[in-house]
Chain A
Amino acid sequence: MGLAPVISTAGLTKHYGTVHALTDLTVEVGDGVTGLVGANGAGKSTLIKVLLGLLEPTGGHASVLGHDIEHEGQEIRRLVGYMPEHDCLPPDVSASDFVVHMARMSGLGASAARERAADVLRHVGLDEERYRPMGGYSTGMKQRAKLAQALAHDPRLVFLDEPTNGLDPAARTDMLNLVRRIGTEFGIAALVTSHLLGELEQVSDHVIVLDGGHLLRSSATGDFLQRTGGLLVEVVGTETERDRLGEALAQRGLTCRPRGTMVAIDPPPPELAEGGAVHDLIRDVAADLGLGLMRLQPDRRHLEDVFLEGGTRV
């Protein structure tokens, strides 16, 4: 790309007393959506807090948007948005008032803040509810409000810490779509964490896997697919629809078998794995058959192999 990376770390280490939350992490994050994946306690939230300048690293260096985390934390916090993992919304304030206030705390003037808050709340899908106190919100609405405040000041980069946590499947899909849009349509780089291994591949351009504070892998999502190979596809309907899709895909040269309500596809031949061609193929086949595609994701059982390859427990 020739551009400076959005985030780059060198030997970044963070110990809490005897707990080694991050160990010698050297990694680069570029534009678009980057998934930061790892089991609970892997060090994902710690990494974000260190990058925000909220925690001092025990060792190593890092820069965010070209600013050194050690000396230019304030400059970084001007340019980034942060959606924390845990609850952080005052219950007696409306999302609208809160997002306006948070935009002002990022340096927007009063009228700009109001305008941005209205825009951003619309984008995250909080409509009339935005005038109600947030204490009465569902988890899905709270997550949206948290996301809205992170976007309020039009950051260049957002840190989204477990944005799908606690959401039901429908809300989870909505949130992941929003994350995708942030990276593409909004043009804001995003570092998104999840403790669910398979979840982020659908929306991220790049995936970083942490395990016990160590970097296990960092690669483009495409490489991940190639490496792990298999895919899972689910279409709207019953077993009949499932089998129709499976048969049609088999005719196109893919090895398929049913798994639950889904079709499991073995690693495709090289010419199809290249550049996501297999994704297009599946989409086209489903469209030709008039089947609604519900889910298309890498076969998680294969992704977990990444951990086995790494020689560590999951």
Chain B
Amino acid sequence: MSDLSPDAGRPGVIHDLGYRHFDGAREGTPAIARTLFVTGLRHAYGLGRSGKSKVMPFVLLAMSLLPATIVVGVVVLTGLGELPVSYADYTNQTQLLVSLFAAAQAPVLFSRDLRHRSIVLYLARPLPAPLFAVVRWASLTLAIFLFTAIPTVVLFAGAMLAGLDKSDQTTAVLKAVVLQALLALMLAGVSGLISSVSLRRGFAVVGSVMALIVLTGIVTVLQNIAYYEGDSETVPVALGLFSPWSLVNGLANAWDAGVDTPVPVDGAWVPAYAIVAVLLVAACLLGLVARFRKVGSR
């Protein structure tokens, strides 16, 4: 024993290095939050996860891109003077796919850590619970935004190829992008909150489908009934306040972004729609923060 000096490096002997301390630099909270944000965004598309988890997001994305590529082909080949569908209306027309994406991927970011309790490992680390919730929401928001923005980019590229007026198209695209951002904030909030409460993936997906797809369908049907049966325009416009999609479409309509609603949204309804949209986002965010605060103290 005693004659063995620590570096008696005999050939063929693998040295156990023993425990090594880490004395490199440690990142602060903002860098940790950024890492969590990027990881969350990747996970929303199944990147860095199993092959199986990439199927759903990319199949949905391909489905929402397919019509856009057809539109581009038609416009470029036939030399149409304008896109047959506005950028903002394209998102509206593919709303089923967008809602499905949000419903299917929100549990990845909001249910898994709670269901498997790995949340306690996060909360025992520097990021505080409220910030964790906000970062998760930001990841999902950007994931949903990209889902709607990618077809928009394809359409825009097609419009440019077809030689459509650049300044007109750019204005329309910018409007669509702003509306998509607002939409993404709302969809991420609603589907995230639902997923953080119903931890079973199936229930979370069904819950989000109810809130985003079924509710929107009901609102649209009621708006149409009210429009055709009633004689006031107030009821159908007011009904539009009750779903994220009708809120965004109403604002798109008011902003002349090329989306038709059962009745035009104008006057005092415009700020009302905007305020309700912002309140919805804020309420979801507060709900998420409260939820993660609560699980943190268990």
Contacts and interface: CB of A to CB of B under 8 A. Distances in A.
Interface residues of B, number: 36
A55 B297 contact: yes
Given A108-B22, A154-B22, A92 B50 contact: yes
A105 to B, nearest CB: 5
B13 interface: no
Contact of B117 (A81, A88, A104, A112): A88
A253 B296 CA distance: 56
Contact of B125 (A49, A87, A97, A106): A106
Contacts of B113: 90
A46 to B, nearest CB: 11
A259 interface: no
A112 B19 contact: no
Contacts of B32: 104-107
Given A78-B26, A116-B22, A107 B126 contact: yes
B22 A149 contact: no
A119 interface: yes
A89 B19 contact: no
Given A107-B31, A109-B27, A185-B18, A90 B36 contact: no
B124 A77 contact: yes
A101 B121 CA distance: 11
B21, B25, B122, B126: most-surrounded residue (chain A CB, <10 A): B126
A144 interface: no
B35 A90 contact: no
Contact of B19 (A101, A102, A186): A186
Nearest to A185: B19
A77 B32 CA distance: 13
Contacts of B118: 88-90
A235 to B, nearest CB: 23
B35 A104 contact: yes
Nearest to A78: B126
Contact of B25 (A54, A80, A88, A109): A109
B112 interface: yes
B39 interface: yes
Which residue among A82, A104, A107, A108 has the maximum number of chain B CB atoms within 10 Å of its CB? A107
Residue from the set B22, B24, B36 with the largest chain A CB neighbour count within 10 Å: B22
A49 B121 CA distance: 12
Given A107-B32, A185-B19, A77 B126 contact: yes
Contacts of B10: none
Contact of A107 (B18, B28, B49, B128): B28
A112 B20 CA distance: 12
A84 interface: yes
Contacts of A108: 22, 24, 26-27
B116 A87 contact: yes
A107 B26 contact: yes
A52 B124 contact: yes
A123 interface: yes
Contacts of A153: 22, 26
Interface in A61-108: 73-74, 77-78, 80-82, 84, 86-92, 97, 101-102, 104-108
Interface in A96-150: 97, 101-102, 104-109, 112, 116, 119, 123, 149
A112 B24 contact: yes
B125 A102 contact: yes
Contacts of A84: 117, 120-121, 124
Given A101-B39, A104-B35, A119 B20 contact: yes
Contacts of A86: 117
B215 interface: no
Given A112-B22, A154-B21, A54 B123 contact: yes
A101 B120 CA distance: 14
Contacts of B49: 92
A104 B34 CA distance: 11
Nearest to A181: B19
Which A-B residue pairs are the 9 nearest by beta carbons? A154-B22, A82-B124, A107-B26, A107-B27, A88-B117, A186-B19, A90-B116, A105-B125, A78-B126
17 contacts: A52-B124, A54-B297, A56-B297, A73-B128, A77-B126, A88-B116, A88-B118, A88-B120, A89-B116, A102-B125, A105-B36, A106-B125, A107-B126, A108-B22, A109-B27, A153-B26, A185-B19
Given A90-B112, A149-B121, 20 more contacts: A49-B297, A74-B29, A77-B125, A77-B126, A80-B124, A84-B121, A88-B116, A90-B116, A90-B118, A102-B121, A104-B35, A105-B32, A107-B26, A108-B22, A108-B27, A112-B22, A112-B24, A116-B22, A154-B21, A187-B19
Interface of A: 49, 52, 54-56, 73-74, 77-78, 80-82, 84, 86-92, 97, 101-102, 104-109, 112, 116, 119, 123, 149, 153-154, 181, 185-187
